[in-house]
Amino acid sequence: MKSIKRYYILNADPKDVYNALTNKSMLEIWTGETAEMEPVPGSPFSLWDGSITGINLEFEENKKIVQQWFFDEVNSDSIVTMKLHPHKKGTSLELIHTNIPDEAYANISDGWDEDYFGALNELFI
């Protein structure tokens, strides 16, 4: 199992980034795919038309999102934590993704940079 820790700078206030990450309609706008999301601990979520699924674990409005991600449609201990901090350019987002299966690491690593935060950053340009 592997882990990722990265920082992303997004050109928007933390409240707008938080909204884009937790609001179903906003998720569908910037991903271009269907999404299931309710910012309630214990609720299931689905992104990119089911390509990413899991359970929402914790929310701190405009500051923090914690999710458990599933791999191969089974429960796993893969935990994604996103912390949002005010930054002079908008938001500094700290990403920590732990317990990534070795065989999924390259895809997940590229996906964070290109598909997830690359697409999200386009929303705020």
The mean pLDDT value of the chain amounts to 94
pLDDT tens-place string over residues 56-85 = 999 999 999 999 999 775 556 899 999 999
Separation between Cα atoms, residue 4 and residue 94, nearest integer Å: 10
pLDDT tens-place string over residues 16-36 = 999 999 999 999 999 999 999
Calculate the alpha carbon distances from 33 to 7, 26, 30, 46, 51 in Å: 25, 11, 8, 10, 10
pLDDT of residue 43: 98
Mean pLDDT of 85-92: 97
- Residue among 112, 117, 118, 119 at smallest CA distance from 97: 112
Secondary structure (3-state) at 76: strand
Separation between Cα atoms, residue 33 and residue 25, nearest integer Å: 10
**Minimum mean pLDDT range among 19-23, 43-47, 75-79, 95-99:** 75-79
Strands annotated E in the chain: 2-10, 44-47, 52-60, 64-71, 74-87, 90-100
Give me the CATH topology for the region 2-123. Answer: Alpha-D-Glucose-1,6-Bisphosphate; Chain A, domain 4 (3.30.530)
Q: Where are the domains of the chain?
A: 2-123
Residue 4 has pLDDT above 80, yes or no: yes
pLDDT of residue 110: 95
CB neighbour list of residue 67: distance below 8 Å, 6 or more residues apart: 45, 54, 55, 56, 57, 79, 80
